[in-house]
A and B are shown apart, each in its own frame.
Chain A
């Protein structure tokens, strides 16, 4: 349990129907300076293999705008508590 007042940090994983769409968005986000990292999505986000883009919670709205502008196909955005996303839930 978190101490009272401590904030949970979340990571956002953008999910794609295929890696082509993921790589396309990766390029678009980099071009406008939005930090993102290619990562295998945590199991809490999807049970499929493949790539996702890891974006910090505070950058997800600007990222959504890029997605809308470029017409990149995504399958959703999973918001996962940071501890669970980088430790496999351990």
Chain B
């Protein structure tokens, strides 16, 4: 079998501890994914990425660095990858979706910090994530208080560039975000030694729009009944979008969508057409967090759409490709990214509008609003989300959970009761 131990050793990873993580992956993956019936064959590529998740892609990043290239680690959908790619660098997501990393995070963070932040910091400090080892600079942002303080801790390990995300959506805020995109560009140019030009930025804008279109096509297929792909598989594709080479990823998603189109034309699905269709909204689900989708779908209901950062927030809305100078392109980037509706904004009525729209588009029978524990923003916003859904007559259930398995039985019981109500 592939032996990446030398690479991991060279990256300064804790091999003994990392082996424990490697041991857990196959069982978890088998239980969640391989146990499914009639999976699309196009999922094989994404299985491959997971099987090699700390091998093939990190090896590509190592090769890139050997040639003098730089790697930027990102945590959030507000960071414009286009700017990083335009300077000849690689943007990659960072680890943060497993309970495995939480204890190392809790060594320096309060226990009542959200698991995503604890796992991210833990993955770095525990030396068990190759992406955290490979990134030359981490790009943080001010989307929540926990993250803001986490950057200060991570800064002791690796340089962190923090983008100051405005918390309102007035014209002046969009202008301020354009200023932040410019500052990121300056930093990326300084680190890589490469200039971002209108030509390179135009090319990267097209490349990332292409990726968004591929994901939009995948999600569009999920509007069909019966649904041709499970929510678990679609979530896995979205999660891998943060790590993979954008051009290769887009090609593989489009190949998967060709297969899904064929299924749709034959009326073939992975759940009965009368199974209750569920929309998930709330906080992101970083790989390998498949907990909620697995529970919902093994209770007999497909997840047909996610209004999350590992869902539609990642790919909806395109960057205007018509701009030919840097000022125009930066403005276009700022406008597109400021259309993402995160709970860190006040007010954030755009998210409620999105949720109501998506329920109709995807013909969802019910909504599960799920927040990671201690995410004050999404948990607080849940009140307004539930209020709007109830007013529209759409069944909704709110959950709070973390990455551990301790509450799995309890959540399963609640989901079963919710689905029972939907089936009546």
- Give A contacts to B, CB under 8 Å: 15-19, 23, 26, 30, 37-43, 46-52, 54, 75, 85-90
Interface residues of B (CB under 8 A from A): 1-4, 19, 22-31, 34-35, 39, 41, 44-45, 47-48, 50-52, 54-56
B31 touches A49 (CB 8 A): no
A88 adjacent to B28 (CB under 8 Å): yes
Given A16, A49, A86, A89, which contacts B34 in the complex, CB threshold below 8 Å? A86
8 tightest Cβ-Cβ pairs between the two chains A and B: A88-B27, A48-B1, A50-B2, A40-B51, A86-B30, A40-B26, A38-B47, A51-B51
Q: Which residue of B lies closest to A76 (CB)?
A: B1
- Contacts A18-B2, A19-B52; is A42 near B47 (CB within 8 Å)? no
- DSSP majority for the A interface? loop
A16: B residues at CB distance < 8 A: 1-2
Inter-chain contact B51/A42, CB cutoff 8 Å: no
Shortest CB distance A74–B (Å)? 10
Interface pair A42/B1, CB less than 8 Å apart:
no
Q: Closest residue to A11 on the B side, CB-wise?
A: B34
Whether B34 lies near A38 (C-beta < 8 A) is: no
> Which residues on A sit within 8 Å (CB–CB) of B22?
47, 49
Using Cβ atoms and an 8 Å threshold, which residues of chain B touch A51? Answer: 2, 47-48, 51-52
> Mind listing 16 A-B residue pairs with CB under 8 Å?
A16-B1, A16-B2, A17-B2, A19-B48, A19-B55, A37-B39, A38-B47, A38-B48, A39-B30, A40-B25, A43-B26, A48-B2, A52-B1, A75-B1, A86-B35, A88-B27
C-alpha spacing A90/B294, complex, angstroms: 16
Q: A47: which B residues are within 8 A, CB to CB?
A: 19, 22-23
User: A40-B51, A47-B22, A49-B55 are known contacts; what are 16 more A-B pairs with Cβ within 8 Å?
Assistant: A17-B1, A26-B44, A38-B51, A39-B47, A39-B51, A40-B26, A42-B27, A46-B1, A49-B25, A49-B52, A49-B54, A51-B47, A51-B51, A86-B34, A88-B30, A89-B27
Q: How far is the CA of A41 from the CA of B22 in the complex (A)?
A: 10
**Which of chain A's residues have a CB closer than 8 A to the CB of B25?**
40, 49
CB neighbours of B4 from chain A (8 A): 49
Scoring A30, A48, A49 by chain B CB atoms within 10 A of each residue's CB, the highest score goes to: A49
**Residue of A whose beta carbon sits closest to that of B26:** A40
Question: How far is B350's CA from A6's CA once the two chains are assembled, in angstroms?
Answer: 56
Cβ–Cβ < 8 Å partners of A43 in chain B? 23, 26-27
Question: Which residues of chain B are near A50, meaning CB under 8 Å?
Answer: 1-2, 51-52, 55
Contacting pair B34 A54 (CB below 8 A): yes
Question: What chain B residues lie within 8 Å of A41 (beta carbons)?
Answer: 1, 26, 51
Task: Report the bound CA distance from A26 to B44 in whole Å.
Answer: 9
In the assembled complex, the CB of B100 is this many whole angstroms from the nearest CB of chain A, namely 14
User: How far does the Cβ of A34 sit from chain B's closest Cβ, in whole Å?
Assistant: 12
**Please, how many angstroms separate the alpha-carbon atoms of A40 and B1 in the complex?**
11
What is the distance, in angstroms, from A27's C-beta to the closest C-beta of chain B? Answer: 10
Chain B residues lying within 8 Å of A85, measured Cβ to Cβ, are: 30, 34
**Is there contact, CB below 8 Å, between A90 and B48?**
no
Q: How far is the CA of A66 from the CA of B33 in the complex (A)?
A: 26
Q: Determine whether the beta carbon of A87 is less than 8 Å from that of B30.
A: yes
Contact B26–A88 (Cβ < 8 Å): yes
Instruction: For A30, list chain B residues within 8 Å (CB).
Output: 41
Distance in Å: Cβ of A70 to nearest Cβ of chain B: 18
Contact, CB under 8 Å: A90 / B31 = yes
Distance from B27 Cβ to chain A, minimum over Cβ atoms (Å): 2
